[in-house]
Structure formats: structure tokens, C-alpha cells
Structure 1
């Protein structure tokens, strides 16, 4: 066979191995979807569509923009003014705009114009109304941040937005702004546009226009008199007229002013020296007083509308809304009258007033009944309701120690707690009224002892108390997780709104509703567009709330809150924070937070900027008395109720004691404790409930016994006994239902030592530490009677991360020490003292006196933070204590 035949034969064999259907047929090619022809046609139609859309957009911009500009040129608002109503739909105010005569371009200082251009639109004199470069830059930043972080609006667009008054947030509104901006640029000069802009834009509240703003915030109607820092303050406001209002938020205004000055410096409009000088100025202008009823509540409600419902001040000012609030007119007028009466406040040493704030909440629905953020409050002025956070001291004990302990099920209000002098690691709180092996929870809260509260928080776990307080609406930071939290140790403090809301859960049987001041908002067409959410959250059991109410009623009846008594049932807790200066026993903050079966309220008093010369001589009874005075009158006409008693919580009804049951008190003991200079007494409690104990005392040179004090507790301390003398004591039981007093107990004689006990070596102060430099430690530490840091804590301006310095840790250095601790603290040299501690709330008896307290603190290494960031309280007692 030839080679050709072999080849053909092999080829036939190979083909024979393939399927017969493919034999002798060429393979089909797949059809390509994207052909050159299709791509060209797609590009053609896309370009044509883009050109068509561009022409349509251009025509819209040219025609619609010019039309809207002509229609709205002389208009600022087309709606009636926004109206504010109280809870009964009575009109209490209107947001009428404050405008001044327009300013001509020639009367505008050039530095003022440059400041606004540098801040809002540095390419203003270069673009034609729309700055594509700025829009692109803003888009890139938004994409990088995955959110809207920067806008691209020019000054011309902002003016267009101000003229086109539809408040809807839509794409078409933005397109309309662009169309008007282009029309403005075609028709007006740059000078005319910047002048219209400055004459129309909002400057916080109801103030519109640059001249009105100059008058409002600086009292100057001649713009050429404005200084650089004042110009920069005004130029800082368009970014957020409410947020950067210098009257309402002076610190934020100063911070934003610095940004404006930095931009001006970078654009070579001012020198570095001018920038630094203008940055450093503090805003302290006070506008002329314009007294207007309900202004504090109106301003708070407007702020809530902005924060909760996304409305801007400008929206509210010109939107013609109807805002229905929760305000009770009588209660609000009562608060305003009380704040206007200087007799209700401690007299200041100079022109800086002792300030205060108060919030009243209806616990049943969470509505804010009345509030006041300070004395001499001005429209859109500084409000301490939400603008200031201060240490709550012992008013925090129920929230973080006692209530969560009850909720755990491991304790009741009759549980015995440790009251021995002790340290928790290196954290050593102190008591003012002496010590005992144990004390009931109710007595510990009534007397506001520190050690039981700290011991209890340690037992249930710091995180348990921390999370419980957060659940009640208290804004806590992670660095607050330490044992000093039991005594109010917080890095930033709290305010009366938070505290009133938290305590309302006790008053409402364990259910918490977020406090709110707006019931609903209707638009200009009377259509309801926003409504309050009054949903309740159960934050504790009814049993826990009931037991807390029982204990805090005793605080008002027999404890530190006696001054808050009114003609209704009251439960509550006092709070006091000490000076923070070594050797100065005055106070920074005083509180009373309490509730009736109808309303819950919180009161704070103190100086805005405490210093060695600006401290309170009084303690928490000052706030308790103010609370009682306001609440007694505010509740006039409100039907009286009783505190609710949950099922199964009612105490067993005991038979009325018979005269035969009235027996003398047994187990009476009395002994002098030289370390606290207190005569501590205890006895066996009577079997019947509601028994009052009456303590009698006689100094050995006196002829007769005289009443010393009355108490419902079965132990007490006499801190008025004088050194070098001897005293005789006995106690009787007074049965209130029988109006009968028992026979005296046995009489015990106690000799009071003439000299103070020599301090233990580890309590001796370090002579190498400075003792009189308020700038080096504890300068702003706050605490509730448990000891303050000596003036030697290292740190940088009170940074929570750098250790306690000028102002303690965190923002305000609000470390606490306890409601009733006293004594000179001595910190070993190797230990860094955390900030601040608390002042004493003495037992409310005529004989009880307090003296100088030299506070100091030893930090707790087990608190979860290092000493530099622990705003702890409590201290080791040392020499020099006088009660």
C-alpha cells in the first residue's frame, strides 16, 4: 500500500471515531453580542440622550431660575410665624423673626466679607454661581467617608436656598437652588450677591442678617466697630447657627471661631499673631435683659425639634409650624419665679451668681412639665439643663448601688451591709457618722453612708451597677467603670434632665419613659408631621422600685433630705460635692433629686466656674429646700395620690401595740471612737413597726438630761461631743400609734478623749508634696463627702488619660468621694491620687456640726482603670478632722 493510501486510510479511521453527525460538516462560530457596530450605535444614543438632558436641564435652569428669582426677590417668608403651645393648647410664644435694616456693601468691613468668603466659599469671586470644583471635592470626601461630610454649596447657592422657601429636602429643590444661583450670577454683581447673602442668612434663633447678629451678640450696630475675633465668631455661625451660637454654646463657638481664623490665616488674610490673639478671646457679652415668660421651655422645645425631628432653626422660623409642648403653665411660672428670687440662692462673693437648674417630669408619660436652665436666663442663652454636666455625688447611690442590688434578688431593703472601716484594694472611702460592724440598707441610705454603698457595688459587680445606670438614661463613659461610681464618680458628670428621668423610673413602678417636651408638630397646613414616642421600657421590677421608694421616703422624713418635705408623700436623695481644694471644706455642687406620686424633679446649684473664691458654704439641704418650695406650689391643683404598692409588696398588718407592749429599749451600747471623734450608739430594735427612738444626753456638770436627737434607726452617732468632757446617754422608744414613750434604757457614761488619736504611719502626709497649688491637682474635682485629692496630682489639664491634673480626669474632673466622708487624706508618695471627692451631708440634727475637711484619695487598682484615669473617691482618714 502506498504512503498516500495509508494516509487516507488513517484519516478515515480517525474520522470514524467522531460522531457521525459531524462528519464532513464545518464547525459553527458563536455569534458575538458586542459588535463594533452595536458599540458605536450605543455611544451615539447615549451621547444624544446626554445632550438632550443637558439642554433640558439648561433650559430649566435658565427659565425656571429666573422666574423663581423674580417671584421671591423681596420675600423672606411666605408662612405665618411658628407658634408654640403648652400642654393644654394655650399659645405661649411665637418665633417672630428679628431683623434689622439692610446693610449696603459700602458699609460692610472688608475683613468681614473676607472672613465669610474664606469660610463658606473661597472661590466665590471666581465661579459663576456653581463651583464644580468644590462639588467634586465634596463628593470625593463623601465617598471616602461613606456619608455626607461636606457640602458643595456656594454662597450664591446658599442665598438661593434662602430665597426659595420650600423646605422639602428633594433633588428638585437642589436643582432649583442651582437654577436660582445661576440666574443671580447673570443678573447681579458679586458685591450685590454677598450683600444680599449677609442681609438674609440666619444667625441663630430668630436672628436674621449680619447687622441684627452684631447687635444681638455684641451690642454693636456699627459693623466697622467689630473686632477680628467678633467677625470670626459671626463667620463661624452659618455652618450651624444653633450649634455655634456664642450665647448658648460659648465653648463650641470659640472652637469653630478658631477654624475660621485658621482658614483666614492659610489664605493669607491675617497674620499668625492676629490669628492667635483672636483665638484666645473668651466670649462674655451679656445682652440686655428681655424678660419673657416660658422662654427657657420654648428654647428647649425648639432644640428638641432640631435634635429629634431633623428640623433646622431656619425651618422652624419660617415654616409656619404649630408646636404642641408638654409644658404646664403654672409649674413653669412657679420655677421662673423661684429662680428670679435671690433669697432662694446663696449670696455670691461678687458679681458671679450662684447658678442652678431644675427639671420636672411627669413620670406616668415622660413629659417634661417645667424646667429652668439658670438665673437671668436669656433667649437662646446658656442653659444648664443640657449645656452643663456636674457631679451628682450621693444622689447617684440609688442608681448604681442600691437599686441594682435589690434587682439582683440577693438583697432587700432590710439586708445588713458592711459598715466597717475598710479599703477596697487601695481605694479607701470614709464615713462621716462613724462605723459599725453592719448597717441595714435603709439606714445606710438614710444617713448617706459611703462604705455600704461602695461595699454593695463591689458585691454586685461594678459593671452591673454601670449598666443599670446606663439603662436609666445616664450618659456614662467606659472610664467610669470603677468603685467610685457608687459615690457619683463620673468622668463628665450629669444634669438635671438625666437625673429627673432616671428617678422617674422609681416613681413609675420600674417603668422608664424617655423625657420629652414636644407632644406633636403640625405644619402650615395643620397636618401633624411629627409625634412623640411615649413607649415605656421596664428597667426594674415593681418590687425594686417600691423598696427604693420606701427607703428614699425615710431620707426625706429622717435623713439628709428633711428640707424637701411638703404636704404630699416625697421620696428622694441629696447630693453634695466638695471643693477639691486642700484645706477648704466648702462645696462645689449641691443636689436634690426626688419625686411625689405625681411628678419627679431634680435640682442642682453651684457656680458655673468654681474656684477657691467661688464655692458654696451650704450643702445639699439648700437644694432640698428649693425643691420643696417649688414643688409644693407647682403641684397646687394637681390631685394628690399615694405611691403605688405592687401586689405582694404590702407589709403585713400588725396589731396595734398595747400599752403592755411599751417596754424599755434593751441592748443599749455607747462608745467613743477617737478616729472619727464620734460617740457611736446602738440598741436592739423594738418588735413593733413605726417606733421612733429618742436619745437623751447629759454632760456630767449639767443637772438634767436634755433631748439630743430622734431617729427611726437602731444606731446613731453623736458628733457634737466635745473633747475633754464626759457624757451620760440613754434612749427611749416612742410608740407613735399610742403616743406613748417607754421607760429609759440603762444609762451609759462615755468619756471623750482630750487629744486626737495619733495617725498611723501610712496616713502621714508626704512633706515633699506641694500643699497650696490649685493648678496641680484636683482643681475641679467634685465629690460627695468622701475626700478630695491634695493639690499635688500630676497630669495635663485634667486629661482623663494623663492623670488627674488641673481639672481632674475627663472633661470636668468629677470624681466623687461619698456623701458623708471627712478627714484629711494622706496618699503615699508612690501612688497617684485620682481626682475629687465628696463633702459631708451631716445628720440633720441641731447639734450636728461639721468642720474643716482635708480630703485625699488612695486609688483602687481593682476598679478596672489605672489611677490616672480613675475618677475615684474615698480617702484614708488622717489628722486634723474636726466635726
Structure 2
């Protein structure tokens, strides 16, 4: 009876032991089928990739994806330029005619595993994926040379997984149908080298004048091999310094892979690029076109190569009449000083519509060539043209100063005697001077004095609001005269002055209005940022007022005057500062100004200033360029006036002091000064004195009553006095009184010597004709020294005047 139970237990135990084996067997079967399906999918996928690449290659191998030219049109959709890619700019060269050192350099730089992989570098892809994951975006391309050929021949440059997959399939097909040598030949003849140069032979000829590739030197090979990574950045014409840095990277890669020795690397790294080898070919509107081209790339993220090949239409803000007028003026030799050799004096000019920031016209230099050195975007020292930005404008913005406010023009040192700016006028240091007159004559001391009064930080802050961010080291009074660490560009200056011209509103300078692709689909439209009111409307009006005086008779910018149109602006020059060379020369001359319609900046000088190449004349030539171009460009346009805000104050002249007398009083051993009271509120009186042997009047005292006794006198000395009325609330000072001269005698009778006591002379308002110096500004004679009229302009003069030392941009 127990056996059946025992048998059941035995059978049960056997059944339980068999179940795990069955499950394990089923699991293995499933795993087998999963692996099989995976292998089949991989094989099918691989075959599809191969077949897809072969299909694309066979359908397109005999018809390259030739580029469609991009065109540039003006606001009226009239074509002004065509940007094409390769065309006649490529010279094909066979592989056997390419030196091994050249091919080795490109392989070392672009794809060191080129001879090992089959078109796609899996190791490189893995490395790129890691970098992309870390960066959380597609930052690493991992494209082999073969993939680059595939992309250039058949695809666009979109960085998507689908496009990369197609690129890989074509690369595999290329490797399956062509030898490594044939692929390298395609690559080196197709690759873009910047400056509209396609192919290794064309690039070597353009950059180095080398037609036989076997004659390329190591440094030249490395330079060329470094360009394709970013052609617009690393070509030696656009960015010689960045090109040299990139060359060093290529040379290091070549050394690491045993292609050159360390000595060859070091020698090739320091060879300078000679821009004279590059052919120059000017074309109409070229500076403007190049600027548009760069801006279009920036706003869209598209590459230079894509724009050259993909048939875009770019609408821009150019005014072709103004552009032609500018190019014609720059082509005239008479507009520039003649150089003593073949190195020409250079210049740059840009015009902006201050109401919307659109760039109207631009020239980057004389004989400007395609993608050349655009001086409109290069920094130079601005000299006195910076005074309105950092000194006068900033002071008026505080609300404490007005065009009629009295400034000081005295021989003064600052920063414990370390910084002593000087005027370069014929008559220096006239004492009290109205702001209007100080800027009209471009006197230096008043601008520095004013910045010192308001504080350097206010000047720096105001410049920043106008779009000019100064270097951290520019926290000193020298900035009042344009003495900057890095300088400014004409484009920055035209933007800043545009705010003065536009009621205190700063606009964003731009040239591109709209971009459409070849299917007429709009891919970009300029969306103006919210306008910035960077100063009070009253400030812009007052600054315009004082700068209008600069272009009027007696002003340093009188040559900028345009018949029938109001013009405001400021001249500027910078010191030469070369030992052994006449100090009347300059490094830079400027005129930055505006009409109610447009704002423009003009710079002139030499790219490299030395003892043989410097500006000998004043900023008048820059002002003349402004007038020549603007008057022609504005022809036929309605004439406007500068708008006047409703709440601006007008100048209320302070009455001059009358009845001034001076007499020596022996009993008190003093000189007694008396004058009539002035009928104005809160007035004090300033007494000025000049003793024998002193060149300038000095402030002796400020009193509240029309009476003063000068006790600080010496016997047998002659003293000359004048008095002004001063209103501190408005920082306004009256015209000076007539002068009175007194000689102190030892006669105790109290009777002055004949002709010596109380002798009066006319007020100091007739001076010698002003002169031009290298560093300031000066035109025709003006009265002196008073708050509203002072002697001679400060450094930049009218034709025919004799030179005096420059001072504008003296560093502390």
C-alpha cells in the first residue's frame, strides 16, 4: 500500500527537476532567434546602406552638384552683385602632380586614419559621439576625407543624423569604387580655401604666387592644410594671426606623425605671411558686399561655401548713389596726401541711417580687394572725436552742464602731476571758456577738466551706453582726448554719433534686411531689437548744438560743411609720437558727423605708421571727404532740420561786468578793484590777474560783492586784472570786463605814477590768427579769453596755418 505513494513522490520529484531544463532550453532558443534577427537586420541594413550609396553615386557621378549663385539686391530688388563659388576659380591638378608632402599634410590634419578605414572611421565616430553627449549637441563631425568628398559632391551641409547616414553610405560606395589616391585627388581639387579659391593649386597660386606645387615650402603647405577647417577664419589674408596659430597646430600634427622634424616645425612656424603676394582686384561695392556676406553668415549660421553654392537672395540696405559717390571720392588721389613711396595713405568711411541703423554705404580702403582688410571694422585711436562721447555728452547728461556752461582752460596737471595735457593752439590756456567754444576749437584742457569734474566713471558709463565698451585699463583722464588702450572702429563711432543724431536713441547697425533660398522661401528677416533710449533727448539736442559750431566759420571741421544742410560733427587727430620726427605729424585723422538724414565716420592714416609713413596734414582732409561724399549721396533727398525737444532751455546770457577800475592804495599797500553790480540772481564775481612775467591770467578770487582789495602784491611790479560775473547754478560765466593795469610804486604820497595806475585796455577779444597742430584742431581767428569767445582753436587748423605740437591723445 505504501509503494504507490512512494512512486508518486518519485514521479513528482522527477517532474520538478525537468521543468528548469525546459525553461533554459526555451530561453536559449529565443536568444538564438533574437541574435539571428539582429544579424539579419544588421546585414540587411548594411546592404541597404551600401546599395543606397551605390545608387546615389551611380546616379550623380557624372554630374557634380554645381553651385547656384547667390545674388545681392537693394531695397528695390535691383541686383547689385552676384556671389558665385568655384567656376573659373579652380585649376584642376592630377594626383601624380601633387607632392607627397602636401597629401601627407592634409591627411595628418584632416583624417590621420585615412589609409586604414573603409570610408567611415568607427573609432572617430565613437570619439565624436562621446563629445556630442558631453556637450549635449552635435559639436564633433568625425567626418573622414572620404565623407567630406561625399558631402561636397552630393549633399548639403546640414548636420542631421539622416544626412550623416547618407554621407556615410556614399563614402562607403566611393571607397568601393575608387582608390585612395583618386579620393584624395577629388578632395584636394574640391576643397574650399576661402577668398573664393577652390582646389589646392588655385589656393597656392592665390596666397603664395606658387604655380608649381612642388615648390611649396613646408610653412606654406601647413598654412594651406589649416584653412579648410574654417576657411573664412584661418585664411592668412583675413586673419594673419589666427592663420599662423592654425599653421602651428598643423605643423605639430605633422611632427607627431613623423612627417617633419622638430627643427623643420620650429622654422616653418615663424615664417611671416607676405600679403603682397596676394593679387588685388577691385570691384564695385566690394567692401559693402563683403560686409553683407559676413553678416549673412552670422545671422543664419550658414557657411561661406553654402552661400556661394546654394542660390540665396540677400536683400540689403545699400544706397547705391551714396556708395558710388564714396568709391569715386576714394579713387581720387587729390583726396589723400601723397606718400613718399608706393605705400599709400589709407582711409575708410561708413554711412548709417541713424533712424533705423541701416548701413547706407561703406568703403574699407583705397584699392580694396575682395574680402580684403576692411578698415571700417578695425580699431584706431580716435583723438578729439572721442570728446563728445566721453566728456561733453556725459557731462550734459548729468543735467548740470549746458552748451553755454563755463569750463576751465588752465595749465593744469592731474593725478598728482603725472598727467599734464596741453593745448596746441597759438594762444594757450585762456581760462574761462564756454563749452561751445571749447569744442569748436577742440581745446584739450577743457575736455579733460570737464571729465575730471564729472568723474571718469560717468564718462566710461556713457560711452558704454553708446555701444563702446572701454578696456578696464581705460579708467583715466586720457580718455577725454581719445587716449584708449584698444581704440575704436569707424563702425563703432558712426553708431555712437548716430544716437546724438537720433534724439538719444541708439540703433543696431546692420546691412542685411532679408534672405530667401533658391525656392523663394524666406529664411531670415531682420527683426530690430527694441530701440534703446541711451540719453535724454535734451542731451542729444545740446550735443548737436555744440557740434554744429565745429562745422561753422572758426570751427575745426569747417570743411565738412554742406551747402543748404545742417551738419554737426567733430574732428580728431592723434599724436605721432615717433622719436626724431616732427611732432606736427599725426597717426590718425578723423571726422565723425551727421546731418538730419545720415551719420558718417571718416578715418585716414597709414596701416603701419613709421618715420616715413604718417599724416602730415590735419583732420581737415577727413572733413573734406565727409562733405564730398555726403553732399553727393544726399542729392535729391528732402532737406530736413534737427528736431528740437519741447523742454530744452535756451541760453540766457549773463550781463558783462561794467565800470571796472583798479587803483593802487599806498596806505593799505593794496590794489583796490571796483566795478558795477550785475543784475542777475545768485551771482558771484571772479577776479583774474596776470603779473609781470606770467603768460596767462589766473583766478585770484571769487567774491560776492563788487569790490576786492588785492593785498598779495610786490613793489615795482605791474599787475593786469579783469573781472567776470559767475552763476554757479548754471555754471555760466559772463564776458570779461575790460582789463585794468596797475604798477605798484614806492611813492608814499598816494599818487600813482602817470600812466601806471588804473590804466584800462580793451577786453581780451582780439588774438592772433589760430594755427593747426598735429594733435588738436584750428581754423580762423576767434576772440579770447571769455566764456563765450576764446583765442585760437586747439590743434586742427585751417589751410595755410603753421603747425604747433599735437596733444590730443596724450596718454597719462
TM-score range, shorter chain: 0.7 to 0.9
Match of 1:335 in 2: 326
Match of 1:395 in 2: 385
- 8 A contact 1:203–1:238 mirrored in 2: yes
Alpha-carbon distance, 1:56 to partner:
5.8
5 Å matches for 1:684-699? Answer: none
Matched residues in 2 for 1:559 and 1:423: separation? 26
Match of 1:570 in 2: 567
Q: Evaluate the alpha carbon distance shift between residue 269 and residue 847 of structure 1 in structure 2; reply closer, same or farther with a 3 A threshold.
A: closer
- 8 A contact 1:296–1:379 mirrored in 2: yes
Match of 2:709 in 1: none
Match of 1:761 in 2: none
- 8 A contact 1:79–1:524 mirrored in 2: no
The DSSP-based 3-state class of the residue aligned with 2:360 is strand
Matched residues in 1 for 2:538 and 2:109: separation? 58
The DSSP-based 3-state class of the residue aligned with 2:115 is coil
- 8 A contact 2:618–2:796 mirrored in 1: no
- 8 A contact 1:668–1:745 mirrored in 2: no
> Which of 56, 78, 83 is the matching residue for 1:90?
78
Q: Evaluate the alpha carbon distance shift between residue 653 and residue 460 of structure 1 in structure 2; reply closer, same or farther with a 3 A threshold.
A: closer
1:560 and 2:556 aligned: yes
In structure 2, runs of 5+ residues without a counterpart are 1-22, 654-677, 679-685, 700-732, 737-759, 779-792
Match of 1:294 in 2: 285
Match of 2:638 in 1: 639
Match of 1:319 in 2: 310
1:463 and 2:460 aligned: no
Alpha-carbon distance, 1:554 to partner:
0.6
- 8 A contact 1:607–1:614 mirrored in 2: yes
Q: Evaluate the alpha carbon distance shift between residue 751 and residue 140 of structure 1 in structure 2; reply closer, same or farther with a 3 A threshold.
A: closer
What do the CA deviations read for 1:753-804 (whole angstroms, capped 9, x no partner)?
xxxxxxxxxxxxxxxxxxxxxxxxxxxxxxx977xxxxxxxxxxxxxxxxxx
Alpha-carbon distance, 1:751 to partner:
13
Alpha-carbon distance, 1:190 to partner:
0.9
- 8 A contact 1:358–1:601 mirrored in 2: yes
> Which of 100, 106, 113 is the matching residue for 2:103?
113
The DSSP-based 3-state class of the residue aligned with 2:170 is helix
1:304 and 2:298 aligned: no
Match of 1:81 in 2: 69
The DSSP-based 3-state class of the residue aligned with 2:308 is helix
Q: Evaluate the alpha carbon distance shift between residue 678 and residue 621 of structure 1 in structure 2; reply closer, same or farther with a 3 A threshold.
A: farther
Alpha-carbon distance, 1:223 to partner:
2.0
Matched residues in 2 for 1:36 and 1:399: separation? 85
Match of 1:221 in 2: 211
5 Å matches for 1:132-171? Answer: 132-141=122-131, 150-171=140-161
Q: Evaluate the alpha carbon distance shift between residue 203 and residue 53 of structure 1 in structure 2; reply closer, same or farther with a 3 A threshold.
A: farther
Match of 1:624 in 2: 623
Matched residues in 2 for 1:128 and 1:673: separation? 95
> Which of 523, 539, 542 is the matching residue for 2:537?
542
- 8 A contact 2:192–2:199 mirrored in 1: yes
What do the CA deviations read for 1:130-171 (whole angstroms, capped 9, x no partner)?
223233334445566676664322111111111223344422
The DSSP-based 3-state class of the residue aligned with 1:315 is helix
Match of 2:576 in 1: 579
Query: Looking at CA atoms only, which structure, 1 or 2, has the larger radius of gyration?
Result: 2
Matched residues in 2 for 1:228 and 1:210: separation? 14
What do the CA deviations read for 1:382-441 (whole angstroms, capped 9, x no partner)?
22122x211111111111222222222232222223333323324424231422443322
Alpha-carbon distance, 1:228 to partner:
2.2
**Number of equivalent positions:** 673
5 Å matches for 1:248-287? Answer: 248-283=238-273, 284-287=275-278
Q: Evaluate the alpha carbon distance shift between residue 124 and residue 594 of structure 1 in structure 2; reply closer, same or farther with a 3 A threshold.
A: same
What do the CA deviations read for 1:684-718 (whole angstroms, capped 9, x no partner)?
xxxxxxxxxxxxxxxxxxxxxxxxxxxxx9889xx
What do the CA deviations read for 1:153-212 (whole angstroms, capped 9, x no partner)?
211111111122334442211222112112211221111111100111111143222222
Match of 1:516 in 2: 510
The DSSP-based 3-state class of the residue aligned with 1:577 is strand
What do the CA deviations read for 1:572-605 (whole angstroms, capped 9, x no partner)?
1111111122353121111111011111110111
Deviates more, 1:624-633 or 1:418-427: 418-427
Matched residues in 2 for 1:86 and 1:592: separation? 28
1:416 and 2:414 aligned: no
Q: Evaluate the alpha carbon distance shift between residue 77 and residue 365 of structure 1 in structure 2; reply closer, same or farther with a 3 A threshold.
A: farther
The DSSP-based 3-state class of the residue aligned with 2:65 is coil
> Which of 131, 139, 146 is the matching residue for 2:121?
131
The DSSP-based 3-state class of the residue aligned with 1:353 is coil
In structure 1, runs of 5+ residues without a counterpart are 1-34, 655-665, 682-712, 717-743, 753-783, 787-817, 821-839, 857-871, 876-883
The DSSP-based 3-state class of the residue aligned with 2:513 is strand
Q: Evaluate the alpha carbon distance shift between residue 846 and residue 291 of structure 1 in structure 2; reply closer, same or farther with a 3 A threshold.
A: closer
1:488 and 2:441 aligned: no
Matched residues in 2 for 1:624 and 1:333: separation? 18
Match of 2:600 in 1: 601
- 8 A contact 1:575–1:591 mirrored in 2: yes
Match of 1:504 in 2: 498
Alpha-carbon distance, 1:559 to partner:
1.9
- 8 A contact 2:568–2:593 mirrored in 1: yes
- 8 A contact 1:218–1:285 mirrored in 2: no
Alpha-carbon distance, 1:108 to partner:
0.6
- 8 A contact 2:618–2:774 mirrored in 1: no
Matched residues in 2 for 1:175 and 1:92: separation? 39
Q: Evaluate the alpha carbon distance shift between residue 324 and residue 46 of structure 1 in structure 2; reply closer, same or farther with a 3 A threshold.
A: farther
- 8 A contact 2:236–2:243 mirrored in 1: yes
Match of 1:591 in 2: 590
Alpha-carbon distance, 1:607 to partner:
0.9
Alpha-carbon distance, 1:450 to partner:
2.4
Matched residues in 2 for 1:492 and 1:46: separation? 67
Alpha-carbon distance, 1:643 to partner:
1.0
Q: Evaluate the alpha carbon distance shift between residue 750 and residue 328 of structure 1 in structure 2; reply closer, same or farther with a 3 A threshold.
A: closer
- 8 A contact 1:66–1:180 mirrored in 2: yes
The DSSP-based 3-state class of the residue aligned with 1:94 is strand
1:177 and 2:167 aligned: yes
> Which of 372, 375, 392 is the matching residue for 1:381?
372
Match of 2:748 in 1: none
The DSSP-based 3-state class of the residue aligned with 1:346 is coil
- 8 A contact 2:350–2:600 mirrored in 1: yes
- 8 A contact 2:85–2:305 mirrored in 1: no
Match of 1:371 in 2: 362
Match of 1:770 in 2: none
What do the CA deviations read for 1:253-294 (whole angstroms, capped 9, x no partner)?
223222222222232212233323322222223444433211
The DSSP-based 3-state class of the residue aligned with 1:370 is strand
Q: Evaluate the alpha carbon distance shift between residue 44 and residue 305 of structure 1 in structure 2; reply closer, same or farther with a 3 A threshold.
A: farther
Matched residues in 1 for 2:232 and 2:218: separation? 21
Using structure 2 for the length normalisation, give the TM-score: 0.76
The DSSP-based 3-state class of the residue aligned with 2:204 is helix
5 Å matches for 1:5-24? Answer: none
Match of 2:546 in 1: 551
Q: Evaluate the alpha carbon distance shift between residue 751 and residue 175 of structure 1 in structure 2; reply closer, same or farther with a 3 A threshold.
A: closer
Q: Evaluate the alpha carbon distance shift between residue 476 and residue 76 of structure 1 in structure 2; reply closer, same or farther with a 3 A threshold.
A: farther
1:444 and 2:438 aligned: yes
The DSSP-based 3-state class of the residue aligned with 1:118 is helix
Q: Evaluate the alpha carbon distance shift between residue 680 and residue 210 of structure 1 in structure 2; reply closer, same or farther with a 3 A threshold.
A: farther
> Which of 723, 731, 746 is the matching residue for 2:762?
746
Match of 2:225 in 1: 235
Matched residues in 2 for 1:400 and 1:673: separation? 38
Q: Evaluate the alpha carbon distance shift between residue 414 and residue 45 of structure 1 in structure 2; reply closer, same or farther with a 3 A threshold.
A: farther
5 Å matches for 1:818-833? Answer: none
